[in-house]
Structure 1
Amino acid sequence: MPDNPQPLVSPADVPGFVCAYRFAADGTARKLTEADIDPELSSPEGEWLWLHLNFIDRRCGRWLARSGRFSTLAIDFIEHIPTYQLIECFAADAAGSVADLRRDFEGETHETCRLHFLLSENVLVTLRAKPIRSAELIRRQLDAGRALETPAQLLLAFFSHYAQGIESVLQDLATEIELIEDRVLEERVSDERRRAVIVRREAAMLHRQQRALRRVLSDAQRSAPRFPADLSDLLELHAHLDQEFEQIEQRARLFHDEIDAKLAAETNRQLYRLSVLTALFLPPTLVGGLFGMNLEGIPWSGVHGGFWFATAAALISSAGTWLFLRYLDRS
């Protein structure tokens, strides 16, 4: 056994490290490894740092507190994340927890998750418990040469990618609604009711998250007009998304009700047919029951061909019932 065993966790380790980039004064980015990260999150003059962490590692908050780059209130916010979306602006820092779309390695997903962040003058730290779509898109853009001059612009890029992702989800939901509409207009209703319910539920859940984010961004801009940048275009896009969500939910509700009405009408038609058949077979059943009694005095019991007389009586009774039902329909 070695005399000096290596510790399981090195003091130089960055808890939950996912990726990091250092940005020059002109906004160009250089990818960093975990070994390149200074525990004090320092950067050369005129440069700034983006650090992306996996919040599953609960040491993240304590490690960020030891860096000394963020206020006690900002660190306390990260260590006690609220259950709702919120952005808090402190003296020189900002902290927040907002919605984002989860990244699925098998393709696009409509599931939402949370993005937490700490923003200071020269550092942006983002934290997540599940892979998020915006972070992956931004990493690809940075590797392709995209330039960002300030941490606030990078944070705004996260918000913009989420809004664009929601737009893509809305297009998928609108396409699904149009397919349901085509089936309904063609009178080929089968599982469209279940599909309409799924669209309504998904649109309602996403709309709830998007509406909360819009409120949070509006509050942040009102309380700190310079945070993180000019949000007017982004808020205008969210207003447009609100209208799109309302239209999707309204159309899904309309088709849901129309499908229910069509299914109810089809059920009524089936019940009407069953009622007609019951009414048509009731008189012959009565005739058959009467002639089935083994009693004296039954008509045609001693007449050759009496069976055919009874059969004719049953048919005549059914025909009479049918004519009576037609008369009721016309009247």
Structure 2
Amino acid sequence: MTIDHLRDALHPDIPGCLWVMRFDAQGEAAPGGAADLARLGQPGEGFLWLHMDLADVRARPVIARIGALTETARAALCDPVDHQYLEYSDGLVSGALLDHERTLAGPASRTDYLRFAIGDGFFISARRRPMSSVETTRNALGRGARVDTPFALFELMTDFLIDELVRMTNDVGLAFDRVEDLLIDGRGREARPKLGAARRDAVRLARQVGGLASTLARLETIEEDPEERTDNDLRETAARLVQHTEALAREMLSLQERARLLQDELNALLNLETNDRLYVLTVVTTLLLPATFVTGFFGMNLKNLPFSESEEGTVYATILCVLAAGAVLILMRRWGLTNPREAEEDRPRPGASGPSRPADTNL
């Protein structure tokens, strides 16, 4: 069992702070404290990771007192957000990424925004609910993972986020496989709710992956000083992350196309089932029409009706109804109208004299 040597970092003496980690020049993490927060943003080896809990009302005043943050970075950490974005100005990267919540049972389907600000010598993150990528990153650091720069920490965290999206994408693909098996078996009614749930998950993931890919792609086009080391590190980090997200985005596109094809196949199968039911209803109605005519004829209140004076008139009328329905059934079977699976071109037409004989070529 691996010992979590960063357990002490979970109990900082900073209001609204979930943990503080101090990284040395080799990228090894160690628990930090309030003294490290006072030196945040000052020159020195290594960097600091400060993780804030926005559900705690004391977190925002602490963030407001951090002098290394710009107003844009403070807004990214504290203000409400409804989309994924990244901004790079004054040497600071700030923004928000959509991530899945984490429960005791693992990642959940609910999502929320992970806010962050990255500067020279610090990485500050904030959230309202436990986020899957953050918890996975902290566990990896507790097991001995190393990151030597704040951008490397951001890359590690984003990689875990992408890995979770890949896992969820594979789960959606497996759900489509099960739907496809049901469609092949002809069980369209069972496949319908499963396909709806899988398509809903696929659409949500596609929106998240598309927003993440477009957001990270903006970092590749920053137009700051090309000689600045921080800018180059940022561009290199963005390039690697964009490669991962583009592959995932292509996979999501293929899943959405597969979902549309499955929906079309399901609609076709349901239409066939509906047509079969309508066919049965039509056959039954056609068989009962002659009997209905007979009963209507004998139900007329007129004189000299057949069998009206006979003691067995009811029996005769019943036999006539059955014979009329039987005659219609025989005609329908002769015309091939009682077999819904028979090809239309193979059905004999009324009045046809049977299959044609080949012409005699012996003249």
Q: What TM-score results when the alignment is normalised by the length of structure 2?
A: 0.81
Asked whether 1:89 is paired with 2:96, we answer no
Structure 1 residue 81: deviation in Å? 4.7
The whole-number CA distance in structure 2 between the counterparts of 1:74 and 1:305 is 99
1:21 counterpart SS class: strand
Deviations 1:7-38 (A, max 9, x none): xxxxx9634211221112211111246x5653
Change (3 A) 1:73 1:290: closer
2:77/2:125 contact within 8 Å kept:
no
Counterpart of 2:209 in structure 1 is 210
Amino acid at match of 2:24: A
CA contact (8 A) 1:48 1:123 kept: yes
* Aligned: 1:28 with 2:28: yes
CA pair 108-75 structure 1, distance change in 2 beyond 3 A? closer
2:99–2:113 Cα contact (<8 Å) kept: yes
How far apart, in 2, do the equivalents of 1:233 and 1:45 lie? 27
How many Å apart are 1:161 and its aligned residue? 0.8
Question: Which residue of 2 is the match for residue 227 of structure 1?
Answer: 234
CA contact (8 A) 1:122 1:151 kept: yes
Indicate the SS of the match to 1:53: strand
Counterpart CA distance in 2 for 1:231 and 1:17 is 28
- What are the Cα deviations for residues 28-87 of structure 1, in whole angstroms up to 9, with x where unaligned? 111246x56534536894132111111223543432231212223322443435432211
> Structure 2: which amino acid aligns with 1:275?
T
- Which AA in structure 1 matches 2:16? G
Mapping 1:217-296, distance limit 5 Å: 217-223=216-222, 224-227=231-234, 229-296=236-303
SS of match in other structure, 1:298: coil
> Contact (CA 8 Å) 1:27, 1:147: kept in 2 or not?
yes
Match in the other structure for 2:133: 134
Separation in structure 2 between the aligned mates of residue 319 and residue 96 of structure 1, nearest angstrom: 78
Q: Tell me, what secondary structure is at the counterpart of 1:159?
A: helix
Aligned pairs (5 A) from 1:307-322: 307-322=314-329
1:197–1:252 contact (8 Å) kept in structure 2: no
Higher mean C-alpha deviation, range 66-75 or range 222-231? 222-231
CA RMSD of aligned residues (A): 2.3
Is residue 29 of structure 2 the alignment partner of residue 16 of structure 1? Answer: no
Deviation readout 1:194-232 (Å, 9 max, x if unpaired): 221222222112211211111111111210543164333
Identity of aligned residues (%): 28
> SS at 1:226's partner residue?
helix
Using the TM superposition, give the Cα deviation of residue 234 of structure 1 relative to its aligned residue in structure 2, in angstroms. 2.0
After superposition, the Cα gap between the structure-2 partners of 1:80 and 1:26, relative to the gap in structure 1 and judged at 3 Å, is: same
SS at match of 2:14: coil
* Cα distance, 1:323 vs structure 2: 3.3
List per-residue Cα deviations over 1:290-326 (Å, max 9, x = no partner).
3244543121223353333212211121122223434
**What's the offset of the Cα at 1:111?**
3.1
SS at 2:159 equivalent = helix
Residue number in structure 2 paired with 1:98 = 97
* C-alpha separation in 2, matches of 1:308 and 1:233: 89
CA distance in 2, matches of 1:196, 1:109: 20
SS at match of 1:191: helix
Partner amino acid for 2:132?
A: R
The letter of the residue matching 1:288 is T
* Rounded Cα–Cα distance in structure 2 between residues aligned with 1:110 and 1:51: 26
2:316 counterpart letter in structure 1? F
SS at match of 1:116: strand
Mapping 1:65-214, distance limit 5 Å: 65-214=64-213
Q: Does the Cα contact within 8 Å between 2:100 and 2:107 map onto a contact in 1? A: no
Distance 1:221 1:15, change over 3 A: farther
| Equivalent position SS for 1:108 | strand
Amino acid at match of 2:257: Q
For structure 1, which runs of at least 5 residues remain unmatched after alignment?
A: 1-11
- Secondary structure of 1:27's counterpart equals coil
Q: Give, in whole Å, the separation in 2 of the partners of 1:113 and 1:30.
A: 28
Q: CA deviation at 1:180?
A: 0.5
Aligned residue for 1:9? none
SS of residue matched to 2:320: helix
Q: Are the structure 2 counterparts of residues 232 and 67 from structure 1 closer, same or farther at C-alpha, using a change threshold of 3 Å?
A: closer
CA distance in 1, matches of 2:152, 2:109: 25
Residue 233 of structure 2 aligns to a residue whose secondary structure is coil
Deviations along 1:246-283, one digit per CA (max 9) or x if unpaired, are 11111111111211211121111111111211121122
- Is the CA contact (8 Å cut-off) linking 1:24 and 1:46 kept in structure 2? yes
Quote the Cα distance in structure 1 between the aligned partners of 2:262 and 2:48.
50
Aligned-partner residue type, residue 18 of structure 2: V
Paired residue type of 1:28: E
Range moving further from structure 2, 216-225 or 226-235: 226-235
- Is the CA contact (8 Å cut-off) linking 2:28 and 2:145 kept in structure 1? yes
Could you tell me which runs of 5 or more consecutive residues in structure 2 were left unpaired when the two chains were aligned.
1-11, 223-230, 338-346, 350-363
For 2:108, the aligned partner's letter is T
Change (3 A) 1:228 1:67: farther
> Would you say how many aligned residue pairs link Structure 1 and Structure 2?
319
